[in-house]
Amino acid sequence: MIKKIDHLGIAVTKLEDAIPFYRDILGLAYHGQEEVADQKVKTAFFEAGDVHIELLEPTSPDSPIAKFIEKNGGRGGIHHIAYAVDDVADSLAKLTAKGVALVDKAPRAGANNKLIAFLHPKSSAGVLTELCADKK
């Protein structure tokens, strides 16, 4: 089911403050920004070998990322780990059959031209886990 780690999601308060560190200090290849309106975030992607870094800035005070930052004392931090799969819907069905609690019952559109779905942290050792696959 899992092919590889696709990306690490990192919550930040402002992309423009965080991007220079990853791009200019760490020297990671920067792949631009994208807004995902239904998730109330702006994202920026960086390449770190076969794994990407996804910075997530909230665009609304009621976004999940804003709530995460608030719970984290106003600071960002690692928000989730995303695994690449061949088929998100099929993976969700298999995980449901194994009793895994899901945040998303069906795939939805995510950043970087992906279909995504999240697993509930109570089923994944306290880590918010995302499954993702390229849109076909």
Structure tokens of 5? 């780690």
Whole domain around residue 78: which residue ranges? 2-134
- Could you identify the residue written with the tokens 């780690």? 5
Q: pLDDT of 86-110, one tens digit each?
A: 999 999 999 999 999 999 999 999 9
Using pLDDT thresholds of 50, 70 and 90, give the confidence band for residue 32.
Answer: very high
pTM: 0.92
**Into how many domains does the chain fold?**
1
Using pLDDT thresholds of 50, 70 and 90, give the confidence band for residue 135.
Answer: confident
Q: What is the DSSP letter of 73?
A: T
- Could you identify the residue written with the tokens 């990306």? 7
Instruction: Report the pLDDT value the prediction gives residue 1, as an integer from 0 to 100.
Output: 83
Q: What is the DSSP letter of 105?
A: S
Specify the DSSP element, H or E, that contains 48.
Answer: strand 41-48
Which CATH number is 109's domain given?
3.10.180.10
